[in-house]
């Protein structure tokens, strides 16, 4: 199951790259992320590890671990969720997110793609609902990114250089 969304964001690609390629910034723009912990940076980004602390509708915190699959400055960044031995293992087999950035007149075209493979019986009934929810999550991420870069709001996340 894949979901894709894209948007022109009125910011230079270098500024967009600075935000999307730094896990510490995820709390500023990625939906439901209250904070990022335990970042273990690797040279040039590929292989970097981090933990997102997600907040549920009920206000509970859920931890999810991630690993950077590739970092191609200034045009592409991708991560995958570490599923095994996590609360997500009951439903997901894999989950990857890709970001592509292209220069455009007036800013940067940001393309987000999420690819998730379901496990067990979830594969049969949950695909449509998951695709719709994931598409909404990508739209919300683009809204957040646009707000951070164009709206200038630095609340909700730690600055990291």
Structure confidence by residue, pLDDT tens digits, 4-63: 999 999 999 999 999 999 999 999 999 989 999 988 877 766 788 999 998 878 888 888
**Which pLDDT does position 133 carry in this prediction?**
80
Statement: residue 158 has pLDDT above 70? no
pLDDT for the residue numbered 56: 77
**Residue linked to tokens 């590890």:** 49
Q: What is the 3-state secondary structure (H, E, C) of 135-155?
A: HHHHHHHHHHHHHHHHHCCCC
pLDDT of residue 120: 67
pLDDT of 91 reads 79
| pLDDT mean across residues, the chain | 85
CATH class of 2-151: alpha beta
How far from 134 is each of 7, 37, 51, 127, CA to CA, in Å? Answer: 16, 23, 20, 10
pLDDT digits (tens, 9 = 90+) for 59-115: 888 888 999 999 999 999 999 988 888 777 777 888 899 999 999 999 999 999 999
Predicted TM-score of the model (pTM): 0.82
Q: What is the reported pLDDT for 160?
A: 37
Instruction: Give the containing element (helix H, strand E) for 72.
Output: strand 61-72
pLDDT at site 58: 84
The bridge status of strand 61-72 relative to strand 49-55 is: antiparallel
Element (H, E) at 13: helix 13-20
Instruction: Confirm if 27 and 158 have CB atoms less than 8 A apart.
Output: yes
Q: Which two tokens stand for residue 118?
A: 């379901």
Which contiguous run of DSSP H or E holds residue 129?
helix 127-146
The C-alpha torsion from 11 through 28 and 156 to 33, rounded to 10°, is 170
What is the distance of C-alpha 124 from the center of its chain?
A: 25
The answer on pLDDT for 149 being more than 90 is yes
What pLDDT score was predicted for residue 11?
Answer: 97
| 102-130 average pLDDT score | 78
């Amino acid at each position: 199951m894949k979901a894709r969304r894209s948007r022109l964001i009125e910011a230079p690609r270098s500024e967009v790259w600075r935000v999307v390629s730094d896990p510490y910034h995820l709390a500023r723009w990625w939906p439901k992320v209250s904070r990022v912990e335990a970042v273990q940076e690797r040279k040039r980004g590929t292989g970097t590890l981090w933990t997102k602390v997600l907040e549920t509708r009920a206000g509970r915190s859920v931890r999810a671990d991630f690993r950077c699959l590739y970092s191609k400055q200034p045009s592409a960044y991708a991560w995958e969720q570490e599923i095994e031995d996590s609360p997500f293992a009951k439903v997901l087999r894999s989950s990857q997110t890709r970001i592509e950035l292209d220069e455009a007149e007036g800013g940067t075209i940001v393309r987000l793609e999420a690819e998730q493979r379901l496990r067990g019986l979830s594969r049969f009934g949950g695909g449509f609902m998951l695709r719709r929810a994931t598409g909404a999550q990508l739209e919300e991420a683009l809204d957040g990114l646009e707000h951070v870069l164009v709206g200038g709001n630095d609340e909700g996340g730690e600055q990291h250089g």
